[in-house]
Amino acid sequence: IEAALAQIWAELLGVERVGRHDHFFELGGHSLLAVQLLSRALEAGLTFSAADLFQAPVLRELASKIHLKRQLSSPRVIPILEKGSQPPLFFVPTGLGDCSYVLPLVKEMDVDCPVYALLWPHFDDVHPPTLEAIAAEVMLAVREIQPHGPYRFAGYSSGAILAYAIAQQLLNLNEVVSFMAFMDAALPANRQSLSLTQMAREVLLDSLEFLEDESFLFLERFAANSSIGQQIQKAQQIGAIPLDRDLESLLLTYEKAAQFQRALELYEVPPLGIEINQFYVNAPARSRRARRSIGQEASSPLRGWDRVLPPEAIHAVSVPGDHTTMMSIPENRRVLARCLSTALTNSP
């Protein structure tokens, strides 16, 4: 187990040799790499949770907590916490397929339930998936862990719409969905007729909204006549993307994100007999695409969900920060974690 774990660490952390007494985070590990570690370990049949990693970040100590376990038929679920008396809480990945936000958020939460992070299923490059198809596949992974409800989900940004689609699938099977937490998740009002290539460019630009206006405008102009790969390279050259990020991996991430975004925009959002908790920020959306597609509803605490749900079914709670810093700044994340924990405790 130690040898298998050391090999995964070495590949993820880019180091030649890993010893028994090495510390994952001191070697350069962080939340995103921790998610990749958990996923790679699951594929190798090594089962442990994110809590195990944080409690025992030294390889020898972590190896002692690992047990060999039969893989789920769909190894697309990452255990964050594995113990608790309440039904599990499932976190859905963001619109970039990223669930690294889950680890630091759950670390600040006070919960008495198992917690899992869901991963995207495989996307068919030839036949782009619908959101219903993605939701149906993710739901199978959820039901392997929890065969029957009540089910509880949380989603950040546009990933929350996938959580809603999963809830739709479960309700169609006469299951109960008792808790839905949306973290600044807006329901787009306007559809855009963009190709997948154009969508990938937009998604990449959205992920670089933190840049100063001059740098962003430079990349926006450059994007008009360049491929997504050339955009990523140019972003790396100006320091917007770290040079150590693998170009091929980034390219795949943005191409998949474009497929997911297309699926979102084609999804006919139905009214469902559920309630949602919307944790929203007051700072305006910086994203150009978000402002175009969401319009005036971007400033509403309900974030457009009152188009499909009664206003009384939407419990809006203000949290500090903007769409990014609500999660990235520790002080803001702690407030969000407290509010999320309270809502979870008070849920049926």
Summarised one tens digit per residue, pLDDT across range 175-192 is: 999 999 999 988 877 666
Cα 37 to Cα 51: distance, rounded to the nearest angstrom = 13
Per-residue pLDDT of 302-328, as tens digits, reads 888 999 999 999 999 999 998 888 998
Domain boundary among 52, 71, 90: 71
| Residue 59 and residue 111 in one domain | no
| Residue 140 and residue 224 in one domain | no
Angle at 247 between CA 246 and CA 249, to 5 degrees: 70
Q: Which CATH number do you get for residue 22? A: 1.10.1200.10
| Residue 67 and residue 80 in one domain | no
Between residues 207 and 16, which one has the greater pLDDT? Answer: 16
| Residue 228 and residue 98 in one domain | no
Residues 8-18 have a mean pLDDT of 88
| Residue 12 and residue 129 in one domain | no
Cα 113 to Cα 51: distance, rounded to the nearest angstrom = 13
DSSP sequence for 29-40? --HHHHHHHHHH
Q: What sign does the dihedral 3-250-205-118 (CA atoms) show?
A: negative
| Residue 125 and residue 259 in one domain | no
| Residue 173 and residue 84 in one domain | yes
| Residue 76 and residue 65 in one domain | no
Per-residue pLDDT of 244-259, as tens digits, reads 677 777 777 888 888 8
Number of domains in the chain: 3
Residue 273, SS3?
A: coil
| Residue 243 and residue 288 in one domain | no
Domain boundary among 263, 286, 314: 263
Res 201 pLDDT > 80: no
Domain extent, residue 48, equals 1-71
Res 73 pLDDT > 60: no
Residues 121-133 have a mean pLDDT of 76
Domain boundary among 71, 100, 120: 71
Q: 209, 320 in Cβ contact below 8 A?
A: no
What 105-109 contacts at long range (C-beta under 8 Å, 24+ apart), as own/partner pairs, is 105/327, 105/333, 105/336, 105/337, 105/340, 106/50, 106/80, 106/81, 106/337, 107/54, 108/333, 108/334, 108/337, 108/338, 109/337, 109/338, 109/340, 109/341, 109/344
Residues 114-131 have a mean pLDDT of 80
Q: Which CATH number do you get for residue 172? A: 3.40.50.1820
Q: What predicted TM-score, i.e. pTM, was given to this entire model?
A: 0.78
